[in-house]
Structure 1
Amino acid sequence: MRNRTTLSKLFNFSGIEVTPAVALDYAKFKPDANEKDADRTIPIYSLDIKANLIKISNDGDVRQSIQPRVMAVYIPFEDQSEFPFIDTLMPDFNYFQLFNENRFIGNDRIGDTSKISYGIVAKRTRIQSGKDFFEFTLGQTLHLKDEKVAMPGESLRRSGSLTNLASMNIAMTESLSLKLDHYWDSDVDQIKRSQIGIEYKDSGSKRLNLAYRFRKQNIKQVHGSFSWPIRDQLSFIGHYKYSIKDRKTIDQFFGLNYETCCWSISAVSRKHLVYRNGETDTSFSVQFMFKGLGEFGTPINRIFEDGIFAYDQS
């Protein structure tokens, strides 16, 4: 059982939004009938400051925006060793994660921290189409104290360490975009993650992505994915991920997606490598979704989020 209570207030000072917040995160876990319940209550303090500065070009065709943001977070240390690791994950570091209070995803762990995160997003957007033809993102987190709560195998941040990220999206044509993403650690001068990708997306439903990804664990991968209409409302979808280092296929799926204005259904056949034992696993997934309500079946969008570079259904 987990419950979170938050008290916050938004202040607007001539377009600058300031949001102080205090939260209490409570969780209780019952190991089994013979063991004592484990519980924790952790306070979370944050101060979020952001702005959106907009300028329209003289001809009225282009909107230029600069979005600076600063966020301070303090979460005291709480021993959570009695809680098991059931659904806690360490997500990929990105601009949205930069401003998350908790560095973990899931219910089992709240990461202690004292940090200041700051970043900026600059965009140039065509007003008529609403398409961003240039976007640049730069962000950094300064850690003010040593971290203590960790997942198995995770390296903890020390006081004074810096985490950095930069990304850039450039629309080369109306349908073709170049995407760059870079995440590095200043203290050890080490690249954590880097990727480059090309995305084709027309005004309809045609979409094609190619990407190269590098990670610090000497992971070098090539990704390819697509969503291509066969006929009205029916599309052929697929993804292929190949490890250059291991010279083998890591993940692949192919399937069909049928979509209407109110609902959609997807069916996917997937074959992927199981890293625990090196064997491959084959599965078939079906998802039925009412738009705006929820989904039934295997969450195929989770596969897409990893399988298709910057996947969205817009």
Structure 2
Amino acid sequence: MPVFAPVLPARVSIREVGPRDGLQIEEPIALGHKLELIEAIAATGVRRVEATSFVSPRAVPALADAADVAAVLGRWPEIRWSALVASVRGAQRALAAGVRHLEYVISASDLHSRANVGRGTADSSGLVAEIAHLVHAADGSLEVIVGTAWDCPFAGPTPEERVVAVTAAAIRHGADAICLGDTIGTTTPRRVWELVDAVRRASPDIDVGAHFHNTRGTGIANALAAVQAGVTSLDASVGGLGGCPFAPGASGNIATEELVYLLDGCGVVTDVDPDRVLAAAAVAERVIGHPLPSSLYRAGGAAVPLDPARPVDSTHKEM
């Protein structure tokens, strides 16, 4: 019997975004607890971690300690630590704190861009060249994250051609990589295939990653669709934490442990230890003080095979 076997990449790089995206909508936690979570994440084998965000502490009080977090990241030199910024000033602060790899967010939706950073898409795009210059002068790298790449909470579906134009402009002005963000967790696999294909055809020489939220339960399916479309860089958050404070209804990211479980089961190498991710999720749950949304975490990890010698209750009860 023939078996459908799509061509998948041999390896996918996971960026853990729990310390930034995962915590940004939470009540602020003590620096010691945050570092405890970062230490647990560092032990999972993940090699890229978005540690914090250099944005206004008034807008995102949970990340007001960005410089303090950055000061200790040198304990784990094997990890490529990065930070998200939303302005030139944010980039300057991040670089001054010793972070060399930055993500700069541009919302493809004008309305969301104004709600998120107080300026329109065109004005945000206009800052890429200056930020790229600062980062490259510090021997760093700049990834542009295109938010609301599929849908906006205020304007509805984002036109594909608008996303392609934003990504192409970012690349022209110095971005080293692009990440497409499903900010409010509304997209589906077919739309993922279509947009990734369009962006890759317009900019074939640039790395395209993806960032999915699980708001409507399609996040992990969308991650697989992205991998099927050739994406080899995905974001995920331990325990499924996260959400955008400026996008109504946006809930958590896809859970790191669920993404590892999916990719391992598909024969795709991630270099991330699933048991240690579950251990990190337990730390996350304890320090934030509420249950995590991750289904895999709640289930207790991978399925345990039944003991064939154990009797099975075959009693059938009518309902």
Q: Same fold (TM over 0.5)?
A: no
TM-score normalised to structure 2 length: 0.30
| Higher relative contact order (Cα pairs below 8 Å, separated by 6+ residues) | 2
TM-score (norm 1): 0.31
Decide which structure has the larger Cα Rg and report it. Answer: 1
